[in-house]
Structure 1
Amino acid sequence: MTPRRHTAEHTLDVAARPEVLYELVADAAAWPAVFGPTVHVRHLERGDRAERFRIWATVNGAVSDWTSRRTLDPEGLRVTFRQERSRAPIAAMGGEWRFEPRPGGGTRLVLLHDFAAEDDDPETVRWIRAALDRNSAAELDALARVAELGHPAREVVLTFTDTLRFPGAVSDAYAFVHRADLWARRLPHVSRVRLTEEPPGVQDLEMDTVTADGSAHTTRSVRVCEEPSWIAYKQRITPRLLLGHSGLWEFAPGGDGTTVATARHTVLLDPSAVPEVLGAGRTLADARAHVRDALGRNSLATLRHAAAFAASASESASESASGAGTSA
């Protein structure tokens, strides 16, 4: 028997133009820095009007993932979505974002869901509704917060990338970043680490870091690990200057025994924190430069140490192979 379809609707009035809110929803790649529940979005197909991606997000306190298709309608100010592979106990899920202009200005945000539960179990239906209520409210509030900052999204959302190529195996470079529990011993800018991994591939990481100016920060992140290709993370506790921060470590063969490692950051700046953190008279442009330098410096330092680790592992493997090939 086909499970019964259920519906849910969540709305919020926001003091911002519909186009501003639409652009934030349409840019799924920036969601981990904007939306609290979203950990990582990985595009599988991407066009002007349609896209397909795999998404990792917290659902009732645990990280889950699924694959969705979306249709983008900028003229109609609508985004429709449908999960093509839902995670149990959800049998099916889809919905629509609407951005309705309000008389006198502003926008009514409307987030619609339709869903089915496996076996149509009433307890499962309640569980799904609870997750939708929690995540939808968080997403609507996040959109309002960003749209009402008083700055265009391009000024407060910043994405940048650093890349390093070095001799060594992809698996060794990945292992260095994956074993963040050892970073306090391996990385000079990390002073304390607490790491748990449950289930395998999903990590909770808390650490204290020191930036070049001597300031210390405590951050807490959830990380999704896809061995040996990439590790995505989303900070749950961010420094004062940031409202959101997500990142991605990627590792790929570079040819001739080398690895190409990339560190990507997407951040959401807090304009109200700029004078407090950087000083009176400093601007968002100063904040972007400061964050770019501080985060880029630390991620490049991590990549350089990963490169040294991978090179050392490669040399050790070569020496072992050479020794095994000699005769007494």
Structure 2
Amino acid sequence: MAARTENTVLVQAPMDLVWRMTNDVASWPELFSEYAAAEILEQGENRVRFRLTTHPDEAGRTWSWVSERHSDPASRTVRAERVETGPFEYMRIHWDYTEVDGGVRLRWVQDFAMKPAAPVDDAGMAERINRNTPVQQRRIKEIVERAAKGEG
């Protein structure tokens, strides 16, 4: 069994700014509230391999994994996959950016399956992702929109 989530946010800012800020993985600890660190391991043209580390959770545990992102500036899409899968059998993420109404619709689709020994099943992880992703997207929207207005 596998799961899929899809979450969207409209960012009222120019495409180039939204693209640049959200694809600057090194700045993700400022952009996302859940990440304490983002370490760039390898980088090439339109490709980055990186390690993310979370802030401690309510039990004091931090989580860390390696992912790789491939961006396509022409189509304004990004594909990512966890290299170190942790509790996931696999985790694939697709971001697409669409210009609409003077802003950018940013859509994240996550396809994944949990390992049998994971502390949560596919449905439970989908519920967590669908609860957290809108929080992160609202934060990104606010930060990018402030930058677009020259306030940050």
TM-score range, shorter chain: 0.7 to 0.9
What letter is aligned with 2:95?
A: W
Q: Which residue of 2 aligns with 1:81?
A: 80
User: What is the RMSD computed on CA atoms of the aligned residues?
Assistant: 2.4
Query: Is the CA contact 1:19–1:77 (under 8 Å) kept in the aligned structure 2?
Result: no
Structure with more contact order per residue of length (Cα contacts < 8 Å, sep ≥ 6)? 2
| Distance apart, 1:11 and its partner CA | 0.6
| Distance apart, 1:119 and its partner CA | 2.4
Structure number with greater Rg is 1
Q: Which residue of 2 aligns with 1:128?
A: 125
Query: Is the CA contact 1:16–1:147 (under 8 Å) kept in the aligned structure 2?
Result: yes
Q: Which residue of 2 aligns with 1:69?
A: 68
How many percent identity over aligned positions?
A: 23
Query: 1: distance between equivalents of 2:40 and 2:134?
Result: 25
Query: Is the CA contact 2:9–2:107 (under 8 Å) kept in the aligned structure 1?
Result: yes
Q: Which runs of 5+ in 2 are unaligned?
A: none
Deviations 1:260-310 (A, max 9, x none): xxxxxxxxxxxxxxxxxxxxxxxxxxxxxxxxxxxxxxxxxxxxxxxxxxx
Q: Aligned pairs, how many?
A: 150
Query: 1: distance between equivalents of 2:80 and 2:91?
Result: 9
Name the one with the larger helix percent: 1
Q: Which residue of 2 aligns with 1:100?
A: 98
3-state secondary structure, aligned to 1:16? coil
Q: Which residue of 2 aligns with 1:148?
A: 145
Q: Which residue of 2 aligns with 1:298?
A: none
3-state secondary structure, aligned to 1:29? helix
What letter is aligned with 1:10?
A: N
Q: TM-score, normalized by length of structure 2?
A: 0.86
Q: Which residue of 2 aligns with 1:57?
A: 54
Q: Which residue of 2 aligns with 1:22?
A: 19
Query: 2: distance between equivalents of 1:59 and 1:82?
Result: 23
Distance 1:65 1:113, change over 3 A: same
Distance 1:59 1:140, change over 3 A: farther
What letter is aligned with 1:110?
A: R
Q: TM-score, normalized by length of structure 1?
A: 0.42
